[in-house]
């Protein structure tokens, strides 16, 4: 027995007319008759006496009406109250962000959210990247409700996983390659992937999965030529499942391989003797919010909506300040992020 079936019965019992009840419920009269017959089968007896001239409740129908009305009223009140609670923003939200992203963008988004929801305490913490996968801190049940994270490839598809929701793009930064200062590419203003053909790239951990690995450090150039990668992945070269960005920089400085990252990496993590050269033919690195589908609530939705409004406002300001020069929308908050990927 469904709530809609009880509602239909009570409406017929109130107006004692199948046609008028159908009009008020915005269904056909045949559908009303079908529901009533189903209830009568479930109850085990007739609920209405029908004739060509009138409809009236049977004694069994009257008894059912009294009990059903009481239960229906209590259930609808409870449902309404629960829906109201579900729409309310809670008093606490725990946000994690990848450490290499830096705190400026996160601070801007949190400030905008708390400005609209001052009663909600936001706890922000940085997350450690692990070779086993960037989503381990979130999917592993850590004490965060939502993660702001990097996604290569220009959108959030690279970080999709069962049970997780990937939210809208919030920020975007250009890609670059990290090289030693004495490297032949270091003096170039920009390159394309084909320029990397003679050199080895540091291979991301295999445990990350092919989609993320391919978008971060592709196997082929834009022209389809095969790029070279180190035989061992980063975690084996470091001997550590954690991948501190400083250790990645050290691998490049020691000549173990080049690393595809973002152009602002060294602004966030200065390292003498290294240079980042922009790569023109790679999609940007983007920032997306990620959360567990089973834990989605009004607070998470409100934060994501606020974050989208904030970054859209940043894009509008940037567009006005740089007109008439065309500005890709994906670089909207590059100045806020500026900090590097691994």
Residues paired with 48 in a beta bridge: 57
Instruction: Give the Cα separation of 160 and 145 in Å (integer).
Output: 17
Element (H, E) at 123: strand 121-127
Minimum mean pLDDT among 18-32, 105-119, 143-157, 317-331: which range?
317-331
DSSP for 265-277, please give it: HHHHS--TTEEEE
At 291, list the tokens: 């959360």
Fold of 92-172+287-323: D-Maltodextrin-Binding Protein; domain 2 (3.40.190)
Q: Does the domain made of 173-278 have the CATH classification 3.40.190.10?
A: yes
Total Cβ atoms within 10 A of residue 8: 25
Q: What's the pLDDT tens digit per position in 241-271?
A: 667 788 899 999 999 999 999 998 898 889 9
- Helix axis angle, 29-43 to 18-25, nearest 10°: 110
Q: What CATH number is given for 3-87 in this structure? A: 1.10.10.10
Instruction: Give the Cα separation of 228 and 230 in Å (integer).
Output: 7
Q: CA 129, 135, 140 angle in degrees (round to 5)?
A: 100
Model confidence at 137, in pLDDT bands (50, 70, 90)? Answer: very low
Tell me the CA distances in angstroms from 9 to 217, 282, 290, one per residue in order: 63, 62, 44
At 136, list the tokens: 């381990």
Answer whether the bond into residue 324 is a cis peptide, omega within 30°.
yes
> What average pLDDT does range 150-158 have in this prediction?
92
pTM to 2 decimal places: 0.66
Percent of the chain scored above 90 by pLDDT? Answer: 50
Instruction: Give the Cα separation of 153 and 285 in Å (integer).
Output: 6
Within this chain, domains 3-87 and 173-278 share the same CATH topology: no
Model confidence at 168, in pLDDT bands (50, 70, 90)? Answer: very high
Instruction: Give the Cα separation of 308 and 298 in Å (integer).
Output: 15
Domain boundaries along the sequence of the chain: 3-87, 92-172+287-323, 173-278
Torsion-angle region of residue 141: left (phi > 0), alpha (psi -120 to 50) or beta?
left
């Amino acid at each position: 027995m469904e709530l809609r079936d009880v509602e239909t019965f009570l409406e017929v019992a109130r107006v004692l007319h199948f046609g008028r009840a159908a009009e008020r419920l915005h269904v056909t009269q045949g559908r009303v008759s079908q529901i009533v017959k189903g209830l009568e089968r479930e109850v085990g007896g007739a609920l209405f006496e029908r004739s060509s001239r009138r409809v009236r409740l049977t004694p069994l129908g009257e008894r059912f009406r009294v009990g059903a009305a009481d239960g229906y009223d209590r259930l609808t009140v409870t449902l309404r109250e629960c829906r109201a609670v579900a729409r309310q923003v809670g008093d606490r939200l725990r946000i994690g962000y990848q450490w290499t992203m830096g705190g400026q963008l996160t601070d801007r988004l949190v400030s905008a959210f708390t400005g609209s929801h001052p009663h909600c305490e936001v706890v922000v913490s940085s997350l450690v990247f692990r070779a086993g996968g960037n989503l381990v801190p979130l999917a592993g049940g850590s004490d965060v409700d939502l993660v702001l994270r990097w996604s290569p490839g220009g959108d959030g598809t690279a970080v999709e996983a069962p049970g997780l929701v990937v939210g809208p793009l919030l920020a975007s930064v250009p890609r670059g390659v990290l090289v030693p200062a004495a490297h032949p590419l270091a003096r170039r203003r920009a390159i394309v992937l084909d320029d990397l053909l003679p050199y080895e790239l540091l291979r991301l951990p295999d445990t990350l999965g092919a989609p993320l690995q391919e978008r971060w450090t592709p196997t082929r150039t834009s022209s389809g030529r095969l790029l070279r990668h180190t035989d061992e992945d980063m975690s084996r070269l470091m001997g550590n499942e954690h991948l501190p960005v400083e250790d990645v920089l050290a691998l490049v400085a020691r000549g173990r391989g080049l690393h595809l990252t973002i152009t602002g990496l060294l602004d966030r993590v200065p390292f003498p003797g290294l240079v980042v050269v922009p790569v023109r033919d790679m999609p940007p690195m983007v920032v997306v919010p990620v959360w567990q589908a089973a834990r989605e609530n009004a607070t998470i939705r409100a934060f994501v909506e606020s974050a989208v409004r904030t970054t859209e406002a940043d894009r509008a300001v940037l567009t006005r300040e740089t007109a008439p020069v065309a500005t890709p929308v994906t670089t909207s908050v590059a100045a806020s992020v500026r900090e590097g990927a691994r």
